Amino acid sequence: MRIVVLVSGTGSNLQAVIDAVASGGLDVEIAAVGADRAGTGGVARSAAAGLETFEVPFRDYTDRAEWNHALTQKCLSYAPDYVVSSGFMRIVGEEFIAAFDGTYINTHPALLPAFPGAHGVRDALAYGVKVTGCTVHIADTGVDTGPILAQRAVEVLDDDSEESLHERIKVAERALLIETLAHLAAGQRARS
């Protein structure tokens, strides 16, 4: 199973996938890793691992549609079975969703449909929930909507800050993403 991974930041989820592939624990090929801005830690991690990387900086385009088209074409050029949004902090447009219909995977640091959007951890704390978690889902044209593939609960501790809770969620999210990709890869082989 070929994947393209999209990142916007440090790439900690991506590193877990790279490590799982390198150890033989995850039978996928990372065709490329791309970012929406120059100089991300995720692209640096990928290059250090010998993976092909690309950047489609949002600021280099006159509008969102032009950027979305360029990102879509770049991802399509790798012929992936799945595109994985791993801390990719841009909302893609309808052209991208249509090109990867049912194969664009997103991770989110909350138990969707609760607390969608960029501040899932902060929103969960503000609401006062005792349990939150992470979700791996198929992304569609909504914000953190689309079919849920897997979820994992994470307890909210009385002394949690946004940072401490988010770090525990990230640990669960990394494991859940690898498990989900392994499950998808096994299904792919079964259909071959």
Mean predicted confidence (pLDDT) in 59-88: 96
Tens digits of residue pLDDT in 110-157: 999 999 999 999 999 999 999 999 999 999 999 999 999 999 999 999
Average pLDDT over residues 13-20: 95
What pLDDT is stored for residue 192 in this prediction? 36
Instruction: Dig out the tokens for 47 from the structure.
Output: 């290059």
Backbone angles phi, psi at 38, to 5 degrees: -80, 150
The pLDDT score that the predictor gives to residue 87 is: 86
Q: How far is CA 105 from CA 28, 47, 60, 160, in A?
A: 14, 22, 25, 28
**CA separation for the pair 73, 119 (Å, rounded):** 29
Instruction: Kindly report the pTM of this predicted structure.
Output: 0.93
Task: Give yes or no for residue 160 having a pLDDT over 50.
Answer: yes
Which residues carry out catalysis? Answer: 108
CB atoms within 10 A of CB 94: 12
